[in-house]
A and B are shown apart, each in its own frame.
Chain A
Amino acid sequence: MLRLSLRNLAGNRLRFILTTFAILVGVSFVVASFVLTDGLIRTFDELVEDANADVDVEVRARSEFDEIDFTLRPIDEALIDVVAEVEGVEEIWPTASSTKILPVKANGEPIKTSLAPAFSGNWVDSSISPLTIVEGEAPDEPSEFVIDETTADREGFVVGEVYDVIGSDGSEPFTLVGISRFGEENALGGAVLSSFTLDELQRLDGSEGLITVIDVAAPDVERDVLVDRLTAVLPDDVEAVDISVVVEEAQSDISDIIGIFGNILLAFALVAVFVSTFIISNTFNILLGQRVRQLALLRALGASAAQVRFSAIFEALVVGVVASVVGLGGGVALALGLRGLMNTLGFDMPSMDIILAPRTIVVAAVVGIGVTLFASLSPARRAATVPPVAAMRAGFRFGSGEGTRRTIIAIILSVPGVAAMGYGLFASSDSTALKLAGLGAGAVLIFVAVSMFAPLFSSPSASFLGAPLEHVPG
């Protein structure tokens, strides 16, 4: 029987490939979402770690809530001197950032920032900064600035030229003295990044005397000792934090953001998997319908119902295994393709490691094999019900059977389906996530319900549309 299953697959290569493809798409989406998020998270993790490799402690405003880093309240720049006085401190890097500053292109139009915000920072000439100068030099004078490589290329900024920069007090001219690169590839996710001297940044931002954080290096002092010493001299609303904590926080923030993106992909993947379940189930049903006489022949010759059922399931198993293995590769390719697509669209993404986590492989196998087997159960059960006499009689058809039960289940499913979808579409308040979940769950339920109703009215149309297919060797 195993041999027969394999022969049936081999004898129907096109159908086999198409069935496999349906599952493969779902598996690939799932794998791609994992590979992409795993790869991006690791890349950004490494970026954050590298950027803070020389820092021991960060001084920042104490937050009452678990806020994300870039919404930190500013602190008084007078603290720079206080921190510098602390015993053991060797080097300090005060940093300030702003989202109120926007360079203007040579043609007088501000840079478009539809994809991601425009960030500005003070130039920190040190290894702790992920920024490096790739052309020209760092800003040294108040009227100088640098801009990131991608923006310069895209918007036509040329080193040595003078450009207007819009700040909180209107625009004024600045000389572009250099081009910066973030990390190794300037992968800013589409953001515009300009750098100024600290004083000019504060002035343009309208926040004179304020900075965001002070990074501190004190290689000869234990970090907790340094934290204690700093805490002793800092005001209550300012804290000194071990840099490893800051790195972890940043990494966790990044994971959250990438995770949201990954979940959207995963949602697509689940829809694909869901749809393919139906495609597979239908395909198997069609295949078995075409093979009724063969099944009946086998039953007449002494194949047990269990053997027939198992041969159908085994066929599905082979399809599932192939789809999982190929889907794993397809998922990696899709992840790379998605990254390329995002780069083309302007969301610059860093190149990343291909990480095939064990979790990814397990999920691919569960989805690919599990879904296929699940989808084959009902057709396999039907296959085993083919009576042996059907071998001698042409025109045997599977009974639609269970019609009433199907209808009842379909109605039971469609009611909460419509309700959930209505909630997702029309509910006025509540969280977006809840509404999206309602929309998704509603769509799934309605899809199942409709597909259960379908056989009731699809039979005549299917026999009409399917008529030409009867001549396809199956």
Chain B
Amino acid sequence: MDQLTKPQVDDAESLRPSDGTMAATATGLTKTYGKGDTQVVALDHVDIGFEAARLTAIMGPSGSGKSTLMHCMAGLDAVTEGDVRVGDTRISELSDKELTLLRRQRLGFIFQAFNLVPTLTAEENILLPLLLGGREPDPEWKTQVINSLKLDDRLHHRPDELSGGQQQRVAVARALVTRPDIIFADEPTGNLDSKSGHEVLGFLRRAVDDWHQTVVMVTHDPSAASYADLVIFLRDGHVVGRLEEPTSDLVYDRIKSLEA
């Protein structure tokens, strides 16, 4: 269980910019669904790494395995074969209980929809991962996160009293409040209008730039991918390309060529 607790390091050190270390890696990651004739290979021996303190986008056509890759890397779904590590922890070997603790303490999640518990207030939703573990938030950090996401006057509202953009910002705050090793974002702007979408992406970008958080984002939107430091392209369960310093146009062109 010790291996799951976040290593005790200085804030200064944990907030260091990217130095090429990997926040999460996968080697020979294979995920299949079904058996025999109906077997579907979602991921086929994928080797991949997500660099710390960077924003990585995963793109690919539907059925490419991008969501499965993220679920497997985040310990949400069991892998069929291969080795997945978050930091130094081999998560493919963890029990359900250990995975639960890993998600609670070391990972943050932002989903496309149904991100928040409807019966809890925005503040309770933000603190939920801490409440689940009976932990107290660091008050300074909490205030900093809430203020920078401009949520300070929305804390006591229920999710249905918030706009879509505000709801996604609450989800971002919830992902940040535990200062996780990695934040996994699954189509975080999929349900938002473009203004709110860019706002949320701006916050994720700042989380990486200002607080050196690690963000992995699945998206199908080239303009969302343009916020990333690196875009990884998937097709048919294989990594088929990488694009550093992406722009919307470059991403768009690459997707076109993949689909061709």
Taking Cβ atoms with an 8 Å cutoff, the residues of A that contact B are 1, 3-4, 7-8, 10-11, 293-294, 297-305, 307, 387-389, 391-392
Contacts and interface: CB of A to CB of B under 8 A. Distances in A.
Contacts of A1: 131-132
A136 B104 CA distance: 88
Contact of A389 (B77, B101, B119, B129): B77
Contact of B104 (A3, A8, A302): A302
B186 interface: yes
B77 A297 contact: no
30 contacts: A1-B131, A3-B124, A3-B131, A4-B120, A7-B119, A8-B119, A10-B119, A293-B114, A294-B114, A297-B111, A298-B117, A300-B76, A300-B103, A301-B103, A301-B104, A301-B109, A302-B101, A302-B103, A302-B104, A302-B129, A302-B133, A303-B100, A303-B104, A304-B100, A305-B96, A387-B76, A387-B77, A389-B71, A392-B71, A392-B186
Contacts of A391: 76, 109, 111, 114
Contacts of B131: 1, 3
Nearest to A12: B119
Contacts, number: 72
Given A301-B104, A301-B174, 20 more contacts: A1-B132, A3-B120, A3-B124, A3-B131, A4-B117, A4-B120, A294-B114, A297-B111, A297-B117, A298-B128, A300-B109, A300-B111, A302-B101, A302-B103, A304-B100, A304-B132, A388-B76, A388-B103, A389-B76, A392-B71
Given A300-B103, A301-B128, A302-B103, A392 B112 contact: yes
Nearest to B133: A302
Given A389-B76, A389-B77, A301 B132 contact: yes
B167 interface: no
Query: How big is chain B's contact interface, by range?
Result: 20 to 34
Interface in B50-84: 67, 71, 76-77
The 9 A-B residue pairs with the shortest CB-CB distance, nearest first, are A302-B104, A7-B119, A11-B119, A302-B103, A388-B76, A304-B100, A293-B114, A389-B76, A389-B77
A303 B132 contact: yes
B202 interface: no
A307 B103 CA distance: 14
Contacts of A392: 67, 71, 76, 111-112, 186
A217 B174 CA distance: 87
Contacts of A389: 71, 76-77
Interface string B204-245: 000000000000000000000000000000000000000000
B137 interface: no
B182 to A, nearest CB: 14
Contacts of A300: 76, 103, 109, 111
B32 interface: no
B28 interface: no
A134 B55 CA distance: 97
Contacts of A7: 119-120
A299 B96 CA distance: 10
A473 to B, nearest CB: 8
A294 B133 CA distance: 18
A1 B133 CA distance: 10
A300 B71 CA distance: 10
Contacts of A304: 97, 100, 132
Nearest to B186: A392
Contacts of B67: 392
A294 B111 contact: no
A294 B76 contact: no
A392 B171 CA distance: 14
Contact of A302 (B100, B114, B120): B100
A1 B105 CA distance: 17
A302 B105 contact: yes
Contacts of B96: 305
B247 interface: no
Which has the most chain A C-beta neighbours within 10 Å: B100, B103, B186? B100
A391 B111 CA distance: 8
Contacts of A387: 76-77
A302 B118 contact: no
A305 B186 CA distance: 23
Contacts of A3: 120, 124, 131
A293 B118 CA distance: 11
A300 B186 CA distance: 12
Contacts of A388: 76, 103
A10 B119 CA distance: 9
Contacts of B116: 297
Contacts of B128: 298, 301
Nearest to B112: A392
Nearest to A301: B129
A11 B40 CA distance: 41
A298 B115 CA distance: 10
B135 to A, nearest CB: 10
A350 to B, nearest CB: 51
Nearest to B77: A389
A388 B111 CA distance: 12
A293 B105 CA distance: 21
Contacts of B71: 389, 392
Contacts of A294: 114, 117-118
Interface string B123-166: 01000110111000000000000000000000000000000000
A360 to B, nearest CB: 36
Nearest to A8: B119
Nearest to B128: A301
Interface in B174-208: 174, 186
A4 B119 contact: yes
A167 to B, nearest CB: 77
A4 B132 CA distance: 11
